[in-house]
């Protein structure tokens, strides 16, 4: 065991709210601590500890990205400085830890073992919290569902709660660029040898996206990049529906088993936004105890995969940024140290309203009293592109009409902004949609200019009546805030693979040219459409490479080397009232 004493006094400071004195702990790091799992596999960890011997509340973080890859972790150092013992663990099969790397499969049981081991150590007072974001956040959910006796609180940041429904797919459409970039290029089967820890061999800038952009079939794309199969990637393709393979690792199946307060945090443009929202709603409504339900909290800002002021070319002003560390520290101080810092007196949901660029506290999600307003699609039969005659209105169309476009998988609509991250060659976020809206295979429906502000916050859904001339296709929807200067800022998106129209666990191909009613869930949002702005809906059948191209053949996911052009029809009016459901809430008040 290697001990490292880090003298930090004077570099950072914090205020102890109990006595208003500023102080900071010196810390030590104990490297390469062996922790034996219940099946005999040994995982290795670093412990960040206050230098003064004692028993401290303990934080556990478990990562696949390398405990020692980048030396001392700044955030973990800061937690130790603030009086926490912090255990950072390489997950099974990664870096120093033994065992097989199989993403998601062992994280619950291993987390349980590690928490109980940590609570029994001389440095711990027996109160354990979990920490971390993204995959590390999912690890917290997986562990909490097994309710380790010494777990007190969890704070999953930017994390999925259903690996199938809000990680691997959205609406059953395969998140190609993320799944390939993360699952094959960055996190394949190979062992992460120490000589590579400080190189760029496994970093995003070296992801070989050219190998996936147009390669078919998908089920051998791993060999193109890796030279050998990547088993978990192939498993993801093989299990294209929400079957027992995915249900076994879904946190959303187990909210009722979680008996500790959980704080979620996410971004309106994060790839795991729906996990952030579903985690809060699941715990608020189904947590195992009254304390767990009452302790559910959520923060969502105008971010991607982390807090920032500007994103996707939009400056949301300095108020948009929050200090992630201070936010988490306050939560842990309340639950692990018992510091009465007022956390329990605040509204549990904190939302950033884009457009107005303001935060507002809410009592729940969806917001009590939300008015769900239908805004209807209409046209004169040619809504193709921004040059077309597609319109939106809160009044029902007086006549029946439809729009057509051709979806050619060899010329897909390119990913431009939206909910994406970490494994994509494109920019995520509120990126101007005008370049896409010039395409004939994008239907554009726009409202009149608004004379009064319209404030929305909550879940967004669209009911779409549509037909295609083949056995399967995709429907891609975007809700856009059209600014007076022409900037078309996306604020919500959704996609549905038509074969999953009756549920993500049901595969049912289409009858060609038959009209179907599709209910498409879109990402939650909070946005103020200001006077002089217009509300817009964009509809198409691809968003590539964020999602794989539907070949329109009906073949199983990843197996088709062929594609076909599909003729798509969107209906509105009469008995086929295609419309989007907007969650309208009270306007923000000036302060």
In this structure, is the dihedral angle defined by the CA atoms of residues 5, 9, 13 and 15, taken in order, positive or negative?
Answer: positive
Separation of alpha carbons 64 and 232, rounded Å: 15
**Residues 42 and 97: beta-carbon distance below 8 Å:** yes
Q: Mean pLDDT for the chain?
A: 91
205 pLDDT above the threshold of 60: no
472 pLDDT above the threshold of 70: yes
Cα separation values, 129 from 24, 124, 202, 262, 302, Å:
21, 11, 30, 10, 27
| Residue 281 vs residue 183, higher pLDDT | 281
199 pLDDT above the threshold of 60: no
pLDDT at 344: 94
Q: Which pair of structure tokens corresponds to residue 36?
A: 């034996």
Q: pLDDT per residue over 54-113, tens digit each?
A: 999 999 999 999 988 767 789 999 999 999 999 999 999 999 999 999 999 999 999 999
Domain boundaries, the chain: 1-157, 371-584
200 pLDDT above the threshold of 60: no
In this structure, is the dihedral angle defined by the CA atoms of residues 343, 345, 346 and 347, taken in order, positive or negative?
Answer: positive
Separation of alpha carbons 388 and 377, rounded Å: 13
Q: pLDDT per residue over 411-470, tens digit each?
A: 999 999 999 887 566 678 999 999 999 999 999 999 999 999 999 999 999 999 999 999
Q: CATH assignment of 1-157, given 3.40.50.1820, 3.40.640.10, 3.40.30.10, 3.40.50.300?
A: 3.40.50.1820
pLDDT at 214: 84
- Span 156-168, mean pLDDT? 97
pLDDT at 190: 55
H, E, C per residue of 250-281: CHHHCHHHCCCCEEEEEECCCCCHHHHHHHHH
Helices 107-119 and 135-144: crossing angle in degrees, nearest 10, is 80
Query: Dihedrals φ, ψ of 194, to 5°?
Result: -55, -35
Separation of alpha carbons 338 and 346, rounded Å: 16
Query: Dihedrals φ, ψ of 46, to 5°?
Result: -110, 140
pLDDT at 223: 85
H, E, C per residue of 197-266: CCCCCCCHHHCCHHHCCCCCCHHHHHHHHHCCCCHHHHHHHHCCCCCHHHHCCCHHHCHHHCCCCEEEEE
Helices 324-336 and 74-81: crossing angle in degrees, nearest 10, is 40
pLDDT at 213: 76
CA 471 to chain centre: 30
- Span 306-317, mean pLDDT? 91
464 Rama sector, left if φ>0, alpha if ψ -120 to 50, beta otherwise = beta
| Residue 205 vs residue 123, higher pLDDT | 123
Q: CATH assignment of 371-584, given 1.10.10.10, 2.60.120.260, 3.40.50.300, 3.40.50.2300?
A: 2.60.120.260
14 pLDDT above the threshold of 90: no
241 pLDDT above the threshold of 90: yes
Poorest-confidence range of 253-257, 311-315, 533-537, 584-588?
311-315
Separation of alpha carbons 375 and 372, rounded Å: 10
Poorest-confidence range of 21-25, 366-370, 483-487?
21-25
pLDDT at 21: 39
pLDDT at 150: 98
4 pLDDT above the threshold of 60: no
Separation of alpha carbons 528 and 92, rounded Å: 45
pLDDT at 227: 76
577 pLDDT above the threshold of 90: yes
- Span 557-570, mean pLDDT? 96
Q: Which pair of structure tokens corresponds to residue 482?
A: 């059209």
Pairing assessment for the beta strands 443-446 and 474-482 based on DSSP bridges: unpaired
Q: pLDDT per residue over 355-384, tens digit each?
A: 999 999 999 999 999 999 999 999 999 999
Q: Which pair of structure tokens corresponds to residue 23?
A: 């102080």
């Amino acid at each position: 065991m290697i001990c490292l004493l880090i003298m930090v006094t004077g570099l950072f400071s914090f205020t102890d709210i109990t006595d208003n004195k500023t102080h900071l702990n010196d810390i030590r790091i104990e490297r390469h601590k062996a922790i034996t799992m219940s099946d005999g596999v040994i995982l290795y960890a670093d412990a960040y500890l206050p230098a003064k011997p004692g028993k401290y509340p303990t934080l556990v973080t478990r990562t696949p990205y390398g405990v020692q890859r980048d030396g001392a972790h700044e955030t973990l150092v800061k937690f130790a400085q603030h009086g926490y013992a912090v255990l950072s663990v390489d997950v099974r099969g990664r870096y120093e830890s033994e065992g097989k790397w199989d993403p998601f499969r062992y994280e619950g049981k291993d987390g349980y073992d590690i928490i109980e081991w940590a609570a029994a150590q001389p440095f711990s007072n027996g109160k354990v919290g979990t920490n971390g974001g993204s995959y590390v956040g999912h690890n917290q959910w997986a562990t909490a569902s097994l309710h380790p006796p010494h777990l007190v609180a969890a704070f999953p940041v930017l994390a999925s709660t259903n690996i199938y429904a809000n990680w691997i797919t959205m609406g059953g459409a395969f998140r190609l660029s993320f799944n390939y970039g993360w699952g094959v290029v960055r996190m394949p089967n190979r062992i992460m040898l120490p000589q590579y820890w400080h190189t760029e061999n496994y970093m995003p800038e070296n992801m070989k996206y050219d190998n996936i952009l147009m390669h078919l079939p998908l089920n051998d794309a791993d060999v193109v990049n890796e030279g050998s199969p990547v088993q978990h990637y192939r498993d993801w393709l093989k299990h294209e529906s929400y079957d027992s393979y995915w249900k076994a690792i879904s946190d959303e199946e187990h909210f009722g088993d979680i008996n500790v307060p959980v704080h979620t945090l996410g971004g309106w443009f994060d790839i795991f936004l729906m996990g952030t929202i579903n985690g809060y709603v699941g715990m608020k409504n189904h947590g195992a105890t009254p304390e767990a339900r009452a302790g559910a909290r959520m923060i969502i800002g105008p971010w991607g995969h982390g807090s920032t002021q500007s994103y996707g070319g939009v400056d949301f002003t300095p108020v948009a940024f929050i200090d992630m560390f201070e936010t988490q520290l306050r939560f842990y101080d309340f639950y692990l140290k018992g510091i009465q810092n007022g956390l329990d007196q605040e509204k549990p949901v904190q939302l950033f309203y884009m457009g107005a660029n303001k935060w507002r506290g809410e009592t729940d999600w969806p917001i009590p009293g939300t008015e769900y307003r239908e805004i209807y699609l209409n046209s004169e039969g040619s809504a193709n592109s921004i040059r077309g005659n597609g319109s939106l209105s809160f009044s029902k169309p007086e006549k029946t009409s439809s729009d057509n476009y051709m979806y050619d998988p060899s010329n897909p609509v390119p990913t431009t902004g939206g909910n994406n991250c970490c494994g994509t060659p494109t920019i995520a976020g509120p990126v101007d949609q005008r370049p896409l809206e010039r395409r004939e295979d994008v239907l554009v429906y726009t409202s009149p200019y608004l004379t009064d502000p319209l404030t929305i916050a909550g879940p967004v859904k669209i009911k779409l009546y549509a037909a295609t001339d083949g056995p399967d296709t995709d429907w891609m929807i975007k809700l856009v805030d059209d600014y007076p200067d022409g900037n078309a800022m996306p604020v919500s998106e959704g996609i549905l693979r038509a074969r999953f129209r009756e549920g993500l666990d049901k595969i049912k191909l289409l009858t060609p040219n038959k009209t179907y009613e599709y209910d498409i869930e879109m990402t939650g949002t909070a946005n103020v459409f200001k006077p002089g702005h217009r509300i817009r809906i964009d509809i198409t059948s691809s968003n590539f490479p964020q999602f794989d191209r539907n070949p329109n053949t009906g073949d199983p996911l990843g197996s088709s080397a062929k594609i076909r052009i599909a003729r798509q029809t969107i209906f509105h009016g009469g008995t086929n009232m295609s419309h989007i459901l907007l969650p309208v809430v009270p306007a923000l008040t000036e302060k």
